[in-house]
Amino acid sequence: MHSTVKLFTSLTSLIVVALSLAACTTVEPHSLEKSETKPTEQNWTVYEDSLENRELVNNAFLQYQQVKKDHGKTVRLNGIDLFYLEWGDETGTPLIWSHGYSSRSFELMKVADRLVAAGYRVIALDNRGHGDTQVSDYNFSLSHIADDINALMDELKIEKAIIGGLSLGGSVTTTFYDHYPERVLALILEDGGSDHIQSRIEKHYPYLKDLKIGYGPDSSKEYSSRFEAFQGIARLYQSAWQQPLPLDLYPILASQIVEAEPGVFRLHHNGLKLWGEGTSALRNPSKAHELPLLHQSWRRVHPLITYRNLHVPMLIIDPVDDFNDLSEQNERLRSLHPDLITVLDYRDTPHAAHPFRPSWFVRDLTNFLHNISN
């Protein structure tokens, strides 16, 4: 029981951090690449306040701003101003990516150029209520975000695309397929969208009901400097990675910080309006109706129903050693369509897999595209 409580306490607090075609069995785990192995000793300093570290964070902010300038676009659709990043051109196979809760479109910036070189046209959205897609009306669901993707495809004259996402973005992907299967070339689910959250909450409620736990980073907290805000985000990511964060992850984290007013910094999203406060409703299966609509809709995504008539290839990326154990659900889903679904196990990898294993991610998406094209 103790291990179960520990596992699902981690799940509840961290799940939203914010990331071959015809295989008939689960793919064997990848061997660790030399440049991406994890050290055994935890002897790092957690982002101490120094001139060197402040310069690193400032440079990361400038890199994020440059990516925004070079690749950022905004389009008016469905009554909102939707911000997205785009790499590549119309010659590439469109990949439309949805980020995890509390993350942003910039989570793909480490791998986007390499995916373009592999043959993709990469389009990553700031979903409603995140980043530069701010809204005044928070009465929206995953279905509304799926509608935004559909409208963006119309705007960009994209008939079909590979749809993918991380964590909550995986649930956006599953929801999109539920509503618009005719517009999907293939699907990519990264540690999300392949399991039924409500069932998991119902199963483990006896262990969770008396715990005081909440979801995600504290978006209401204010900081007096960009560096202090960065420290808060970095420590959250590091709690899952357990070693110093790669420097090329810094610009992704910098994208999650906004200067609300001169000298006041906070995260880019409003967690209370998007997800709800850390009350018993978060873990009580009978109180989902008390949560914001986005959270309610996430609870109700059911991949075994949505994908009962799957007709396109699907790639599932599963960081099997992280807190979010989806192995059983992934196997149940794969067994429904063994000719279409491939499951890749990423060992020693946190929930947000692709920022920490970029070379694996690029290699596997390259192979996936090659198999689809042939």
Task: Read off the pLDDT of residues 213-261 as tens digits, 9 standing for 90 and up.
Answer: 666 678 889 999 999 999 999 988 887 777 788 899 999 999 999 999 9
DSSP sequence for 307-364 = TTT--S-EEEEE-TTSS---HHHHHHHHHH-TTTEEEEE-TT--SSHHHHSHHHHHHH
Most confident of 31-45, 108-122, 203-217, 321-335: 108-122
Higher local confidence (pLDDT), 157 or 49: 157
- Whether residue 224 lies inside any domain: the answer is yes
Query: What was the pLDDT predicted at 283?
Result: 75
Contact 135, 145 (CB under 8 A): no
- Residue 40 above 50 pLDDT? no
Residue 186, domain member (yes or no): yes
For residue 32, the tally of other CB atoms under 10 A from its CB is: 14
333 and 316 Cβ atoms separated by less than 8 Å:
yes
Provide the residue range defining the domain that includes 91: 51-325+346-373
CB 324 within 8 A of CB 219: no
Secondary structure element (H or E) that encloses residue 369, with its range: helix 358-373
Residues contacting residue 237 through CB under 8 Å, at least 6 positions apart: 17, 245, 249, 253, 350, 352
In a domain, 4, yes or no: no
Q: Tell whether 1 is covered by a domain.
A: no
CB half-sphere exposure, 168, CA atoms < 13 A: 31
Which uninterrupted H or E stretch holds 60? Answer: helix 51-71
In sequence order, what DSSP letters do the residues of 238-292 get, joined into one string? HHHH-SPPPGGGHHHHHTTEEEEETTEEEESS-HHHHT--SSGGGT-TT-GGGS-
Query: Could you tell me how many residues make up the chain?
Result: 374
What six digits make up the tokens of 265? 């910094």
In a domain? residue 29: no
What is the separation, in whole angstroms, between the first and last Cα of the chain? Answer: 48
Which residue, among 254, 161, 187, 197, has the nearest Cα to 16 in the 3D structure? 197
CATH number for the domain spanning 265: value is: 3.40.50.1820
What is residue 280's predicted lDDT score, i.e. its pLDDT? 64
* Total structural domains within the chain: 1
- Measured in degrees and rounded to the nearest 5, phi and psi for residue 48 equal -65, 155
Burial 175-212 (b: 16+ CB within 10 A, else e): bbbbebeebbbbbbbbbbbbbbbbebbeebeebbeeee
**DSSP of 139-194, one letter per residue?**
---HHHHHHHHHHHHHHTT-S-EEEEEETHHHHHHHHHHHH-GGGEEEEEEESSSS
Residue 69 lies in a domain: yes
pLDDT at 12 over 60: no
Which pLDDT score is estimated for 209?
74
Report the C-alpha gap between 351 and 261 in whole angstroms.
Answer: 32
Query: Tokens for 208?
Result: 């969770």
Round the average pLDDT of the chain to a whole number and report it. 86
281: confidence class by pLDDT, cuts 50, 70, 90:
low
210/304: higher pLDDT: 304
Residue 113, domain member (yes or no): yes
Is residue 298 a part of any domain in this protein? yes
Q: What integer is the mean pLDDT of 118-127? A: 98
Q: Which residues of 290-305 are buried (b: 16+ CB within 10 A; e: fewer)?
A: ebbebbbbbbebbbee
Closest CA to 146 of 131, 125, 167, 120: 125
The pLDDT > 70 percentage for the chain reads: 85
